Amino acid sequence: MDSIIVTGGGALNGQIPIAGAKNAALTLMPATLLSEEPLTLTNMPRLSDIRTMTALLSSLGAEVSALAEGQVVAMSSKTISNHTADYDIVRKMRASNLVLGPMLAREHRAVVSLPGGCAIGARPMDIHTVGLEALGAEIELKDGYLHAKAPGGLKGAVHELRFPSVGATENLVMAATLAKGTTVLKNAAREPEIVDLVACLKKMGAQIEGEGTSTIEIQGVDRLHGATHPVVTDRIELGTYMLAPVIAGGEVECLGGRIGLIEAFCEKLDAAGVSVTETEKGLKVARKNGRVKAVDVTTEVFPGFPTDLQAQMMALMCTADGVSVLEEKIFENRFMHTPELVRMGARIDVHGGTATVTGVERLKGAPVMATDLRASVSLILAGLAAEGQTTVNRVYHLDRGYEKIEEKLGGVGARIERVRAQ
């Protein structure tokens, strides 16, 4: 497996282009299953997860072509020839479950393996299935597969999610676009990726109101047509690269960034002593004065502090002045990076869903092991602040969510290289 070697100690200066959002792209791609006409997505990130979703859609009969060096993906689902999302593909990525709603809506049947992805805790499918059952689907779990059918088609309903799950909201919104009648989703997720999905679905002819709020209303239509849609900026990649000059020193402009995408995160940076300025091209980030101050963080659903930036924020707090408390309220098992940070000299005490971090003046380079996608990049960030060399092993997780990270960080002065597996 590949490794990434980071040599700390140098300030970062320059510009980093931020890619289209992985989580938005993986939601938008299954929307092709809702229509016989072509769907083209631009500003696509070039990631292994996109290739996995491409393989899944192709296995169902969709035609998927990557253009413009992968930044444009053209899809056509004129015919859905297979209704089973197989375990061998689905196990690689949790977002694979997002084919369930569209296939039920258009084909009235689907067989989808229970999903895989990062091992960061239970993310139950029942939020999805209960919602689809409220729309008239019949779903049975057999041998690790969800067998779903809606013989008379899906029907609009009023449904309240027990938790504002992003994936379940996306699945239900897509399913409801072709359902008969009106669907009202309460306690819906409000993330920018959902707003982006709805923008695309509206271009395809869907009738939807309330996106970005906790109540979304969908009036079902008979059919959807083709469209072209640009993927929204990746707010998690944005937040990650915003932390790089804060940890290493220097000033970096993140191209394509907007404070509105990650306002709660920016508020914490401001409290820590970080300057974030909107420019014509994006966001410019630098420390205000010397060492950052410790701040407490609690992860929450949008518009709160994103769970996907918790590990990266912990890396920053490892060298902050003072003691910070990070509370993880979205996923259990999301502190698996802490033993690796401790290997680098961090002082972290974990009890259940709470981590107490006592900042040290300097981390030390060490060989470390990546456990999941966001943990991987937190260790690279920590390496920027460490004395000597940090080797991050098992970086295949990283390639699921960050395109060309060595080029992007190297372009602003980081000493970083990838060592290919022999």
Query: Per residue in 127-144, pLDDT tens?
Result: 999 999 999 999 999 988
Could you tell me the residue ranges of all domains in the chain? 3-19+233-419, 22-230
Q: Which residues of 394-420 are buried (b: 16+ CB within 10 A; e: fewer)?
A: bbebbbbbbbebbebbeebbbebebee
pLDDT value for 333: 65
pLDDT digits (tens, 9 = 90+) for 246-284: 999 999 999 999 999 999 999 999 999 999 999 999 999
Q: Model's pTM, two decimal places?
A: 0.91
pLDDT digits (tens, 9 = 90+) for 10-67: 999 999 999 999 999 999 999 999 999 999 999 999 998 999 999 999 999 999 999 9
Name which CATH class applies to 22-230: alpha beta
Matching fold, domains 3-19+233-419 and 22-230: yes
129 burial via Cβ count (<10 Å: 0-12, 13-18, 19+): buried
120: pLDDT confidence band, cut at 50, 70 and 90?
very low
Q: Catalytic annotation on 118? A: yes
Q: Which residues are annotated as a binding site for phosphoenolpyruvate?
A: 22-23
Phi, psi of 383 (to 5 degrees): -65, -30
pLDDT digits (tens, 9 = 90+) for 368-408: 998 887 788 999 999 999 999 999 998 888 888 898 999 99
CA angle at 356 for the pair 294 and 382, rounded to the nearest 5°: 65
Residue 119 pLDDT > 90, yes or no?
Answer: no
pLDDT value for 116: 53
pLDDT value for 164: 94
On whether the CB atoms of residues 344 and 382 are closer than 8 A, the answer is: yes
332: pLDDT confidence band, cut at 50, 70 and 90?
low
CATH assignment of 3-19+233-419, given 3.40.50.300, 3.40.50.2020, 3.30.9.10, 3.65.10.10?
Answer: 3.65.10.10
Q: Which residues are annotated as a binding site for UDP-N-acetyl-alpha-D-glucosamine?
A: 94, 308, 330
- Residue of 118, 200, 254, 318 marked active site: 118
Closest Cα partner for 204 from 183, 222, 191? 222
**CA separation for the pair 284, 24 (Å, rounded):** 24
> How confident is the prediction for the chain on average, in pLDDT?
94
| Distance, C-alpha 182 to centroid of its chain | 29
Residue 117 pLDDT > 50, yes or no?
Answer: no
pLDDT value for 93: 85
Helix (H, G, I), strand (E, B) or coil at 15: strand
Q: Which residues are annotated as a binding site?
A: 22-23, 94, 308, 330
pLDDT value for 384: 97
Closest Cα partner for 28 from 200, 156, 247, 243? 200
**Percentage of the chain lying above the pLDDT 90 cut:** 86
